[in-house]
Structure 1
Amino acid sequence: MKSKVFEGGCLCGNIRFSAKGPALKPHTCSCRQCQRHSGSLTQAWVEFPKENITWFGTDGEPSKWRSSNYSSRAFCSNCGSTIGAIDDEPIIAIVLGVFDSPSLKALVPKSHSYISNRPKWWKVEVNA
């Protein structure tokens, strides 16, 4: 069976990627770090093994900022787009908003982390 390939990139197009599936742990998160990184109350993510990600585009890999003792946040240094998180483990988490086709069934979040950090008026429904 052929693996699904997901593509996407930043707002200006200088960072482009392809991610060979399967998509792992699609989820949403409302922790303060995700809120500040994304500028939204909830961030939507999906993970891939590092070896399944290919960076292309004029800037190659995204810029990184060390955000914790195990991970760095990834972004485009030209347009500022949030790309995701590159963990010390061989995992790269990519935010759903940068995919060319973010509504694909394989990317639908299955869980929500730090749901208690979201404002009480913010309702996030997750498909099981």
Structure 2
Amino acid sequence: MEITFSLEQINEVAKQILNSNPKKVILFNGPMGAGKTTLIKAITKLLGVEGATSSPTFSLVNEYLTTDNKSLYHFDVYRLKNETEALDMGIDEYLYSGNWCFIEWAEKIPNLIPEAYSIIEMKLNTDGKRTIQLTC
């Protein structure tokens, strides 16, 4: 599925993503400034996360609880030097928990990604719109 959208349409795009039944582990690929974190915020809201969400750039992972008391994890592994650092933080326990896991910069940990995952490729277009390609 490919969608081109403006930021004003991001909530509708988040609905379309969830309606496409993606795997619970979703890799968000794209350059800095493409809107990965903004899209993840919209998706987490639809999944029942109330309150503020933010990029886990420095903490590597943010855990959120949904209104039905389920955990949801948002990773930003950009700052990792190698996969060993991810293993040291226990990333495998998160990824195999059965909960939603949204991962930015997953190309840093290719050997740790579970077999079942979806990918969202994002790009920022010259007109300010974003284009995503979802592969389930």
**TM-based fold match above 0.5:** no
Greater RCO (Cα-Cα under 8 Å, separation 6 or more): 2
Going by fraction, where is strand more abundant, 1 or 2?
1
Going by fraction, where is helix more abundant, 1 or 2?
2
